[in-house]
Amino acid sequence: MKKSFQIGLWFLILLLLISSTFFSLYLSLESKGELTFIDKEPVSGVFTKEVVYVSGAVMNPGIYEINANQRVWDIIQLAGGFSDEYDISYVNEQLNLAQKVNDGMHIYIPFKNSENLEQTINKVSINSSSLSELVALDGVGESTAQKIIENRPYSSINDLMKVPGIGEATLNKLKPFITL
């Protein structure tokens, strides 16, 4: 009887040691930011994870695992919000903060006063350009240009994704050359 009590006591001590080791490991990972929990539940009730890459003028650029049905604004908040150096005119004019994110999406927030190709070229307006101006864009044929015209007006550059024939790759290729 005494021997079984001693074995039980040793087992309990061993269990406590293992539990405290795992708990301290959990706390150290959480405090270093290596362990992230997302406390928002998906709207649909179905739990599916997606991965989004956030870069540029945000506090914590990186790759984030998110729930389905989250929006660009949610992801920017996960990345710590905008940095002090973000380009507010880009955010106000070209970024749709209410857009639902897709798996594998890249959200780039440019820095203010950044000198890049987008600021030095004449952009084509997707809301007012003619068919011939749209066709002049690399990757846009006459039928796609006609569909762009038929789906006007656009409130965001990303609204072009609604045009048949324009996917994410084409949109990303067009973004430096187009404006609203």
2-57 pLDDT per residue, tens? 777 778 778 778 777 787 776 666 565 554 444 444 444 444 444 457 888 888 89
60 vs 63: CA distance, rounded Å = 10
What pTM did the predictor assign?
0.40
Q: What is the pLDDT of residues 44-60, one digit of tens each?
A: 444 457 888 888 899 99
Q: Which residues in 93-116 are b (16+ Cβ under 10 Å) and which e?
A: ebbbeebebeeebebebbeeeeee
